[in-house]
Structure 1
């Protein structure tokens, strides 16, 4: 790897635990840990920039950051961005109230996330509405305005427990597997991307339910 003359600007989602989040001492989470290790092996210095879900892709395309730490890989996004090797396997699941009906007539999901198309394909008879982020999706279900929220199974669990404790049940399955991977704009440093691909490892989550508690609590940095 050639010497870097500047620090690589890494964007990461600020509220995406257990994978990435802005903690008290800076970036944290499983994806952050994986990439910290990879950057260290490459001798690359970095600057980490916290971003909202909606800010991530615009920040990348507007050259505010050089790479996004972990983004859900979808066909639509692959037409606009260049993804590196996957680093995490996760998935989308429906979150329902423990005391609510077991129906999915109306589903809400974050507008900036990767599950809008997947939810519409998986639940063709449901009304799928894109809303403003994870807390808003869960709030609408909590208040009875929607039957379920289609969310990342790990992140949704974390935010539901934090914002709506003991209201939502644990999803017992996923309707769409999704890989998370670093992402670059169409014009980028190919050598750097290939070097990073060579050192990252795949961290897969194949079980849900009780495994979620372990996943959300691990910050190994």
Structure 2
């Protein structure tokens, strides 16, 4: 590897972990604390107000679970990496740009859950992240000098299939946005199911 093209792996991992941590924490800010008028008793009014927050709570929980799956995938991918070069780091940074947008796109779905444009923005955000992780894996397959050991063709296919789980869920959400927009967010709960099914088929 040419002088000056290698980047310290621990610095990239620290930056990535920090961005994930901040993005996951910011999700809760989309849930506004309800305000109870002074003349009313919180014991009477607050339960109903809290129940009314369920769309925001659901959007926060779904986005957190999706970010968790992305972070676990990133951890698995970087476990294969021995060293980093600048093109791969740049690709990772572009992926992180998608991560920092998740609190915004998630807030759109929590506030305007039945609006198709909100559903499509969130879907595009998550699909882009999944495809970018697939691009990272493809780059590593083509540059085995960055790895502890070369990725086998079977392992590459597994990785590509896993990278398509969030785009597949996003596509399903977009399709559901026409007949049943209120149900579209639930499609992202299928991501762990897709991942488990792919891992099961690959291990057979």
User: Which one has more relative contact order, counting CA pairs under 8 Å at least 6 apart?
Assistant: 1
TM range, smaller chain: 0.3 to 0.5
Q: With the length of structure 2 as denominator, give the TM-score of the two structures.
A: 0.32
| Length-normalised TM-score, structure 1 | 0.31
